[in-house]
């Protein structure tokens, strides 16, 4: 069952309806609603299903805060206040690691959170020079993080230390032949580092959307305001490094 979320903007504090669409799209009915308490004009700017909790958890971005909701009781689980200085533009969950999610916003940063400890981000990236509009984890290798920003750049980052394979691909000793036994020593001597893998500057205007291909885990696309769609690959060296 695939799931998608539509994000709806609402200008008042009236309970904001959330809709869920699921196959088959015969009927769409309101499954539950939750109210956002608070002063001022609160809005839901973005939302995402958590892939881990059997479709019971949703995370939403509300202006500057990120909240998590339990759909069974429609109550708030966690809230990261003031995640980004001005506005949180997008969220994404780590497909392999529970409790980890990434958010990006108008302070030009991408922050990675552990939902069990919401006071402080686990990591932060500050590579962009203007608002970051999208952040996406690679579906299978969660150390690859893609971000698109209105400074017309797409940046592919390697967040190994907080991924599900911080030490690279570990192999059992019995599976190795004599020749291959030497390689883990090589790899263990140089653990992969966090950092920017590549910056793609083919766009001339703000990049508003980036995403990974669901067919090939090494392809991604980015879309900018001037109508340009650019499709890129992960550099080959890194791909083999991750695979082997």
131 counts as binding another protein under rule CB under 8 A? yes
199 counts as binding another protein under rule CB under 8 A? no
Q: Which is nearer to another protein, 122 or 219 (CB)?
A: 122
Q: What secondary structure letter does DSSP report for 130?
A: S
Binding-site member from 12, 86, 117, 199 for another protein (CB under 8 A)? 86
Q: What is the 3-state secondary structure (H, E, C) of 29-59?
A: CCCCEECCCCCCCCCCCEEEECCCCCCCEEE
Binding mask 55-74 for another protein (x = CB under 8 A): ---------x----------
167 counts as binding another protein under rule CB under 8 A? no
196 counts as binding another protein under rule CB under 8 A? no
- Residue 5: in which H helix or E strand, if any? strand 4-5
Q: Give the contacts of 36 (CB within 8 A, at least 6 positions apart).
A: 13, 15, 16, 42, 44, 62
Task: List helix spans (H) across 118-243.
Answer: 182-189, 236-243
Binding-site member from 56, 98, 164, 206 for another protein (CB under 8 A)? 206
Residue numbers 2-31 binding another protein by CB under 8 A: none
Q: Which is nearer to another protein, 9 or 29 (CB)?
A: 9
Q: How far apart are CA 147 and CA 84, in angstroms?
A: 15
Residue 104: half-sphere exposure toward Cβ, Cα within 13 Å: 28
Least distance from another protein to the Cβ atom of residue 226, Å: 6
Binding-site member from 3, 12, 33, 82 for another protein (CB under 8 A)? 82
Q: Give the contacts of 186 (CB within 8 A, at least 6 positions apart).
A: none
Q: Which is nearer to another protein, 86 or 140 (CB)?
A: 86
130 counts as binding another protein under rule CB under 8 A? yes
Q: Closest Cα to residue 147, out of 136, 159, 160?
A: 136
Q: Closest Cα to residue 88, out of 62, 122, 113?
A: 62
Q: Which is nearer to another protein, 94 or 152 (CB)?
A: 152
- Given the rule CB under 8 A, which of 17-25, 140-148, 169-177, 198-206 is the region that contacts another protein? 198-206
Q: How far apart are CA 107 and CA 128, in angstroms?
A: 9
Residue numbers 147-166 binding another protein by CB under 8 A: 150-152
Question: Under rule CB under 8 A, how many of the chain's residues touch another protein?
Answer: 19
Which whole-number Å values give the CA distances from 33 to 15, 73, 133, in the listed order? Answer: 7, 10, 27
- Given the rule CB under 8 A, which of 25-33, 135-143, 200-208, 235-243 is the region that contacts another protein? 200-208
Q: Which residues bind another protein (CB under 8 A)?
A: 64, 82, 84-86, 107-108, 129-131, 150-152, 204-206, 225-227
């Amino acid at each position: 069952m695939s799931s998608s979320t539509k994000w709806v903007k609402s200008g008042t504090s009236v309970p904001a309806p959330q809709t869920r669409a699921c196959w088959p799209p015969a009927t769409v009915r309101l499954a539950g609603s939750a109210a956002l308490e608070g002063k001022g004009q609160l809005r839901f700017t973005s939302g995402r299903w958590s892939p881990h909790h059997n479709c019971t958890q949703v995370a939403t971005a509300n202006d500057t805060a990120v909240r998590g909701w339990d759909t069974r009781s429609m109550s708030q689980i966690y809230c990261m206040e003031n995640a980004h200085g001005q506005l949180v533009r997008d969220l994404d969950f780590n497909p392999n690691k529970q409790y980890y999610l990434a958010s990006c916003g108008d302070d030009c940063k991408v922050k990675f959170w552990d939902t069990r400890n919401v006071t402080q981000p686990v990591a932060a990236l500050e590579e962009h020079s203007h608002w970051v509009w999208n952040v996406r984890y690679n579906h299978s290798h969660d150390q690859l993080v893609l971000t698109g920003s209105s400074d017309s750049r797409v940046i592919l980052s390697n967040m190994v230390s907080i991924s599900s394979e911080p030490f690279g691909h570990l192999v059992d000793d019995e599976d190795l032949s004599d020749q291959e036994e030497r390689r883990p020593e090589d790899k263990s001597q140089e653990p992969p580092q966090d950092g920017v893998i590549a910056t793609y500057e083919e766009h001339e205007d703000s990049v508003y959307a980036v995403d990974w291909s669901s067919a090939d885990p090494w392809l991604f696309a980015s879309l900018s305001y001037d109508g340009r769609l650019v499709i890129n690959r992960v550099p080959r060296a890194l791909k083999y490094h991750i695979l082997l």
